Amino acid sequence: EAGVAQSPRYKIIEKRQSVAFWCNPISGHATLYWYQQILGQGPKLLIQFQNNGVVDDSQLPKDRFSAERLKGVDSTLKIQPAKLEDSAVYLCASSWVGVGTEAFFGQGTRLTVV
């Protein structure tokens, strides 16, 4: 099966600019996650969707981050305005619905804020 697709792979922006990341999950996977992975740390959950509804966004900095999954398939994550501390790899993952199902990760988008 095709994997989780993310774009772009790399992005460099100046602080206070905005940026958007795109994710296409594995076909049929109703659950989609966005994770932030800062260098040397484990992935941190930002938001979890099931179809087009939000399951958990408790760790999403809502003053600057937003995410949507309008048709229950593709998703976009936006940062506006970006801060230096947002420099990280943003990973998208997807899974079948249900407890204890494997999450499949995309390659990630490496964001550098200068």
Partner 1 sequence: GENVEQHPSTLSVQEGDSAVIKCTYSDSASNYFPWYKQELGKRPQLIIDIRSNVGEKKDQRIAVTLNKTAKHFSLHITETQPEDSAVYFCAASSNTGNQFYFGTGTSLTVIP
Site residues for partner 1 per CB under 8 A: 4, 31, 33, 35, 40-45, 48, 55-56, 58, 91, 93, 95, 98-108
Asked whether 110 and 89 are in contact (CB, 8 A), the reply is yes
Q: How far is the CB of 106 from partner 1 (least distance, A)?
A: 6
Q: How far is the CB of 68 from partner 1 (least distance, A)?
A: 19
Residue 42 has which token pair? 């484990």
Q: Is the dihedral of CA 60, 65, 69, 70 positive or negative?
A: positive
Q: How far is the CB of 72 from partner 1 (least distance, A)?
A: 16
